[in-house]
Structure 1
């Protein structure tokens, strides 16, 4: 165990260790409802990216390596997991035997980091390739307008103009939606509400109580 933690906090493994730790913390927080799974995702217009010239933007890089159409949080998690595994075993095989040679340690460590990052990107692309159509289908069949007027259940402890989450039962795993409401409403976890309109700017739904919706 002492050897494990020694490698865990050694260069270059520590870079992936830090990233993987943040990912694990993120998923734990998302699991209890404080964050949503897609809260770190960004809107990328792939129509503006041409295939003739490689793009240096994030959207271009995701498209180039086949990491598009899936949640960015999932991509980061898989890259950090594969990168950590590769760098950990690379450290044990190549660096640990000659750990005391400082120049060798950092030169080989840099080499392992580059190789681990490259391998992790391609492994992530390989893993998400078969599930990419699932995310595209989910995005296409659950557009924002089709959900308006539907009943959702509050998932977060409170809902206000700044934050709030609700779940919508779609017959499958369910959807986690970002919701907002006026401060006159006092929604709490477990309450039912109606999706009134969609705010494209903030990527969230405005909700009202079922009683007010029914007049």
Structure 2
């Protein structure tokens, strides 16, 4: 037990220990009803971070769950690496370089493992939360944030209950960055939304 605490609360593992403690505290507060868990698995994170989440294969489940898994797997990787090799590294600059390398390697490993773990969880969150979300999002305006929107690609930002949400959007009419559109239909198999230009929507041309 003494060895466990010595490794868990020494550099570099202590970095993940602190992050994991914060995540555990968050879940405890949520379970006590003092906080809300963002369980809209169909929504990406706000801004450019959403693109990173998709690239890493971490989209489709609540962000708090993704972060918790990242911290957990990062902690496990860092702990066992430091347990085996930590005593072999001399103190000083080499120890800091070693720690930085362990943290980076643990992060890479945790991203890979988390992307595999969340894959089977996505349908669960989609079934549980997508239908109410669809009804609330359809009909809301959005702003194009990608360079363009076509029938096969594009992203837009909308505001729902004061929260800025970034969605994958598609349009039969080409749209450019900062143009306004209206969400008219969900595309379940692509986890995206059909939109039409705002002017077309108000003129009555809403067929998708």
Please report the TM-score for the alignment, with normalisation by the length of structure 2: 0.60
Q: Which has the higher helix share?
A: 2
1:33 equivalenced with 2:33 (yes/no): yes
Match of 1:125 in 2: 115
Match of 1:201 in 2: 161
Q: Distance in 1 between matches of 2:122 and 2:134?
A: 20
Mind listing any 5+ residue stretches in structure 2 that lack a counterpart? Answer: 137-158, 164-208
1:4 equivalenced with 2:21 (yes/no): no
> Post-superposition shift, 1:109?
1.2
Match of 2:154 in 1: none
Show CA shifts across 1:77-136 (max 9, x none): 0000000000001101111233x4323211111111111000001100000001112222
Mind listing any 5+ residue stretches in structure 1 that lack a counterpart? Answer: 47-55, 147-198, 204-215
Question: Would you say how many aligned residue pairs link Structure 1 and Structure 2?
Answer: 141
Show CA shifts across 1:24-59 (max 9, x none): 011111111001122899x6489xxxxxxxxx9210
Matches within 5 A, 1:45-194: 57-98=48-89, 100-143=90-133, 145=135
Q: Secondary structure at the match of 2:38?
A: coil
Q: Distance in 1 between matches of 2:50 and 2:45?
A: 8
CA contact (8 A) 1:40 1:73 kept: no
Q: Which has the higher strand share?
A: 2
Please report the TM-score for the alignment, with normalisation by the length of structure 1: 0.58
Q: 1:45 to 1:86 in 2, by over 3 A?
A: closer
Match of 1:13 in 2: 13
Q: Secondary structure at the match of 1:35?
A: coil
CA RMSD for the aligned pairs? 2.9
CA contact (8 A) 1:16 1:80 kept: yes
Q: 1:45 to 1:105 in 2, by over 3 A?
A: closer
Q: Distance in 1 between matches of 2:111 and 2:45?
A: 22
Match of 2:195 in 1: none
